[in-house]
Amino acid sequence: MNLFRIGTFRKAGIITLIIIAFTAGLVSFNEDRDFKLVKNLDIYYSLFRELNVFYVDDINPEKLIEKSINEMLQSLDPYTIYIPESDIEDFNFATTGKYGGIGSLIRKSGDFAIISEIYKDFPADLAGLKAGDIIREIDGRSIEGLALSKVSDLLKGLPDTEVRVTIKRYGFDELFTITFIRKKIHITGVPYYGMLDENIGYIRLSNFTQDCSKDVKNALTDLKKTYSPESLILDLRGNPGGLLIEAVNVSNLFVEKGQEIVSTKGKVKQFDETYRAKNLPVDTKIPIVVLVNRGSASASEIVAGTLQDIDRAVIIGTRTFGKGLVQTTRPLSYNSRLKVTTAKYYIPSGRCIQALDYSNRNEDGSVGYIPDSLISEYKTKNGRSVYDGGGISPDIEILKPDLSQLTIELFTGFMFFDFSTRYYLSHDSILPPGDFKLTDSIYRDFIAFVKDQNFIYETKTDQALLTLKETAKKEKYYQFAESEYTALSKKLSRDLEQDMNAFSKEIKILLEESIVDRYYYRSGMIRSSLPYDEQIDKAREILKDKNRYTNILNPS
């Protein structure tokens, strides 16, 4: 048997790297570490052999081993994961944004799956499939009770192959079947771009999948050619990141060729690298605001942090997630893979913005944030103070107001979704995004719909009041304050219609977006949301005040 495998890598010449792999034996340079590794692997093998032979019931070796692998990796960090062959297609979609299928998203609905979103101009859309359609059969097979992942697997397949889907649509008694020809589905990284007014351009980047930088470049080029914007908003809110090289390429669009963007440092020298802008930029002068929030992570933080460090953009929103770790995918046997954390990344000021310290866990195994005492100050190109150890702090913080519990439960209970399904099937068209406005009449219909669904919700106030009552009874104090408790409970009791009117402003915004989404897809939904966005308003305010914009980036 081979005791090790040699891989060749090109970096300033040919570097030969010996990767140590355990099969029947092990080659290493540290005898004590070798002994401990061999010893424990031998214990593991013998333990599993005994389980397999003597355990009272039959065991599933594959599931047991996979669980042990996953538990082991969880002790490191949440980004180092084992990818079995069965999950490779989903992994590839997450990194490339491409797969073979019909072009829709699904979610569970009772015992069946329901179409939750349609991608424009792909087979599902062209064949007339609608959000809200319930999938009953695939290729003549009932999917009742089938796990959502299995339903997804049945819908996916090689491009140019057929799949027959039987549908139950709201308002129709009969089922109907559509035969689709699967196509290669590519989800663009830029679901929407446009002009907010005659001077300010806007680009939403939703992920850093393969070639998303080309999507941004095309959007930016089109805006410049068609509208000649004087400034730009790059929206990275809710963008979880993705490929590091795409973060480099997106940053490259706005910085001079040769500018350092990010560097990586790992235990193995192979993963030490400095990434610079290799291409000619599209625009190095246009004023930029980058929008970020807690959901902006990884590659999003590289772009936002780099443009902040070199004073190329003003960052607005809330602190980002704080993921400063880099993963590399390594091949394993039987077509499986290991995605393993191999390095930390550092943006131009020299800071790493990793927030959680996985290398120093607490005694109970939990992970803590890097303490303030270990957070260091760095300087931007113009001498502004920035800090490591906890994401990218915006230059201007704008907190989004919390939604009411009622609004959250209307959303998670799919009340917006279900009402929009019914509205879409009874209205042929609506005005374009930005022009369509939710009327009082539509909102009254929504209230009536929610009431008809026997919608029940519980607030945190309800939960706290119930806990207080139970605690008071347990400690025998309730009898002394029963009348006060009853009065308070009555005062805080909810009336659904009254609450829906009290929180109508935020509910109407989400309902309007949901309805627009049915007619104009995700791009329309984003366009519909912009007039109500306080962080967008602040970005526009800053970009229109050239002196303030300049003073933020160069306070001296």
What are 262-282's pLDDT values in tens digits? 999 999 999 999 999 999 999
The residue from 77, 215, 309, 395 that is catalytic is: 309
pLDDT, tens only, 78-132: 999 999 988 888 888 778 877 899 999 999 999 999 999 999 999 999 999 999 9
Do 237 and 366 have their domain in common? yes
Please tell me the predicted confidence (pLDDT) of residue 501: 95
In a domain, 50, yes or no: no
Do 232 and 378 have their domain in common? yes
Please give the backbone phi and psi of residue 517, each rounded to the nearest 5 degrees, phi first.
-55, -35
Measured in whole angstroms, how far is the alpha carbon of residue 519 from the centre of its chain?
24
| pLDDT band, residue 16 (cuts 50/70/90) | very low
111 is catalytic: no
Do 501 and 367 have their domain in common? no
Do 104 and 244 have their domain in common? no
Query: Which of 186, 210, 239 is the endpoint of a domain?
Result: 186
Do 516 and 384 have their domain in common? no
Least trusted range by pLDDT, from 19-28, 173-182, 221-230, 250-259: 19-28
Do 335 and 372 have their domain in common? yes
pTM: 0.86
Find the domain containing 453 and state its range. 405-459+494-538
Please tell me the predicted confidence (pLDDT) of residue 14: 30
Bridge-based pairing of strands 260-266 and 104-109 is: unpaired
514 is catalytic: no
Do 245 and 328 have their domain in common? yes
In a domain, 250, yes or no: yes
In a domain, 384, yes or no: yes
Query: Which of 399, 424, 439 is the endpoint of a domain?
Result: 399
Do 122 and 260 have their domain in common? no
The answer to whether the beta carbons of residues 131 and 117 sit under 8 Å apart is yes
Report the CATH number that the domain containing residue 106 is assigned in CATH: 2.30.42.10
Report the CATH number that the domain containing residue 262 is assigned in CATH: 3.90.226.10
Count how many domains the chain has: 3
Do 234 and 341 have their domain in common? yes
Do 196 and 120 have their domain in common? no
In a domain, 229, yes or no: yes
Do 242 and 366 have their domain in common? yes
Please tell me the predicted confidence (pLDDT) of residue 1: 34
In a domain, 119, yes or no: yes
The residue from 298, 420, 514, 523 that is catalytic is: 298
DSSP structure class, residue 163: E
Please tell me the predicted confidence (pLDDT) of residue 538: 98
pLDDT, tens only, 296-326: 999 999 999 999 999 999 999 999 999 999 9
Closest by CA to 73, choosing from 420, 341, 277, is 341
Please tell me the predicted confidence (pLDDT) of residue 10: 33
pLDDT, tens only, 170-227: 999 999 999 999 999 988 999 999 999 999 999 999 999 999 999 999 999 999 999 9
Query: Which of 186, 202, 223 is the endpoint of a domain?
Result: 186
The residue from 156, 183, 323, 538 that is catalytic is: 323
Do 359 and 260 have their domain in common? yes
Please tell me the predicted confidence (pLDDT) of residue 466: 85
DSSP structure class, residue 56: S
Q: What is the mean pLDDT of the chain?
A: 90
In a domain, 555, yes or no: no
517 is catalytic: no
Please tell me the predicted confidence (pLDDT) of residue 30: 65
What separation, in Å, do the N-terminal and C-terminal C-alpha atoms of the chain show?
66
Mean pLDDT to the nearest integer, 62-83:
92
Query: Collapsing DSSP states into helix, strand and coil, what is residue 224?
Result: helix
